[in-house]
Structure 1
Amino acid sequence: MQEQGTIARHTISVIVDNEAGVLARVIGLFSGRGYNIESLTVASVDAEAKRSRITVVTTGTRMVIEQIKAQLDRLVPVHKVADLTVDGKFVSRELALVKVRGEGEKRVEALRLADAFRANTVDSTRTSFVFELTGSADKIDAFVELMSELGLVEVARTGAAALSRGTDGL
């Protein structure tokens, strides 16, 4: 359990109407109050009901997170707000594209590590690779750190996509 003043990372899932301006209102809530967003993903999840899921990873004390949830809940196009971090077990994954430059032994080592991390090679030249990797943020962080020692060129990553475990949905 998080202590009152301890800052922790939280994954918040928000079901909203899929209409123009909703994302801007949600983001405005964070920026207007000085809350940081570490990761943000948005996608339509129910075309018939015209609903989207916004998944936000943020940090804060328990009180700040409660404020964020309460303020999100008051926005008109919001249907449901859940703090997956405290509501129970959840699954969270990210996607990353990682470009690595390498020749000789560094090239061989990059391929070996990519295999160990179950990364797919989606582009290859004589002097570089682009790897595609999915997994937890920690897994992607570890892969990027190892590749930085071998010739990391650049990284593009999605934000977290997350769902609670079990049969219940938002």
Structure 2
Amino acid sequence: MKHTITILVENEFGVLTRVAGLFSARGYNIESLNVAPIMDATVSRMTLVTRGDERALEQIKKQLNKLIPVIKVDDISHAIHLEREMLLAKVVVSAESYDALIDLTDQAGAIIVDDHIDSHMIVEMTGRAEQLDLFLQQLEPFGVVEMTRTGPVGMRREAKGFSVTD
């Protein structure tokens, strides 16, 4: 089963290595990982996606909580939550395909962040993974030169926050 885990950690050198090492030592792959400081710059929020059974993930959560720089751990997979990813794609564009590509990005809710009418275009889209997958399929006929995705970031859909003080 897929698990999306949010982790608050002290924003210090070596934290990412410790967390990744914990997963590696137990034979679990990290499918995606996002880390960025929260409003309190001394704390970072990690969003980590992995796959595994409930029992093993419960052990990983316990081990994560034992790491000194880890402040809080939450597996949001079973909670009502939102997940979003961001995609950047560089696409071949010509004078003939330009209007069709503009129409496609508008329909998908994507934005053009770099535009070279007789060369390439870089588009950005944020949404659920399935939306990004579909958009990428629609871009393929134009010729995708390069793409990158963030992997999911997520949070619970409830009034209570996930912070150091909660």
Residue 112 in structure 1 maps to residue 108 in structure 2? no
Which residue does the alignment assign to 2:130?
138
Give the Cα–Cα distance (whole angstroms) in 2 for the partners of residues 108 and 76 of structure 1. Answer: 54
Structure 1: runs of 5+ lacking an equivalent = 1-7
Of all paired residues, the percent bearing the same amino acid is 42
Residue 22 in structure 1 maps to residue 22 in structure 2? no
Give the Cα–Cα distance (whole angstroms) in 2 for the partners of residues 30 and 106 of structure 1. Answer: 45
Which residue does the alignment assign to 1:44?
37
Residue 93 in structure 1 maps to residue 93 in structure 2? no
The alignment partner of 1:149 has SS state of helix
Q: Name the aligned partner's letter for residue 45 of structure 1.
A: I
Structure 2: runs of 5+ lacking an equivalent = none
Q: Deviations over 1:13-32 (max 9, x none)?
A: 00111111111100111122
Give the Cα–Cα distance (whole angstroms) in 2 for the partners of residues 19 and 90 of structure 1. Answer: 28
Q: Is the alpha carbon distance of 1:16 and 1:142 closer, same or farther for their aligned partners in structure 2, counting shifts above 3 Å? A: same
Length-normalised TM-score, structure 2: 0.88
Length-normalised TM-score, structure 1: 0.86
Superposition RMSD in Å: 1.6
The partner residue of 2:49 within 47, 50, 57 is: 57
Give the Cα–Cα distance (whole angstroms) in 2 for the partners of residues 105 and 34 of structure 1. Answer: 50
The partner residue of 1:149 within 141, 146, 160 is: 141
Which residue does the alignment assign to 1:5?
none
Q: Which moved more, 1:38-47 or 1:10-19?
A: 38-47
